[in-house]
Amino acid sequence: MLDIIGKLIFRLIANIALALFEKLPDWFADKVYEVFGKKRPPKNKKTPEVHLFESNCGEKPLELAQQRLMVSSAFGTYFTGLLERERGYIPLEGQIEIPVAETQIGLPPLQSIYWTLNNPKGKQIIIIAADGGMGKSTLAAQITRCLFEKEVIDIMLGDSAKNQEVDPITSEVRPLEIGYDSADAFLQRVCEQLGIPFQIGEGEKDNLVNLIHDRLMGRRAILIADNLETVKDGSNLLKLLRKLANKDVRILATTRQIDNLAIWQKLIWGIS
């Protein structure tokens, strides 16, 4: 028993001594290692964080009454409310789980999202996935505000398919006006926002996508498809949006469910 206690005490003292030793100047520590004929192990250097935009970018509410040419009046009440709300999203360390490319080393997750939506070589479609109430829509709104604030985009399109919300104070469930509930309804919403006559029929869908593509030529746009899980043909909607995505037009979607989005797995970034 005493032998075990002695070993524990020795290990504790050794760890404390090593921690203090690491605080010594490099030249002194190197000399000590040299005396014992050993090479000093390299220190673990933490990669410094890089910020493309200020950490508070996108926290200011948008004055939509003054931005009707850039922010369509056809946005539904729910997402409009998010854009007009001040600092809705609160970043927490480790909350956003994203794949990190070599070009993004040192970027915090939120800054990495800004990078990929700002860089011509970045992902053209991003899907934010998480359980309900984790802040997907709020995060999407902050990203959109920041990109608009920094003039990365000059027009916002799309809407939210959210059909109800819970009052955080009373826990009352309130119904919401649905922005879209299908791929066709999303196309109709975007056509309304761009002033394109909407007609759907055999062979018309591809024509509408082409018209939207032509109308966005020369613009820097973001198309928001919020609450994708409530749309039965969500995967088909993403296929349509992929035809519109390019270096100047980016797609930002949110969803609770990813079971039906298997082919889009590499585009899904999670919030935990």
Q: Which of 108, 164, 157, 109 is nearest to 132 (CA)?
A: 164
Lowest mean pLDDT among 65-69, 96-100, 126-130, 246-250: 65-69
272: pLDDT confidence band, cut at 50, 70 and 90? Answer: very low
pLDDT at 102 over 90: no
What are the residue ranges spanned by the domains of the chain?
2-35, 64-271
pLDDT at 29 over 90: no
Tell me which CATH homologous superfamily contains domain 64-271: P-loop containing nucleotide triphosphate hydrolases (3.40.50.300)
pLDDT at 161 over 70: yes
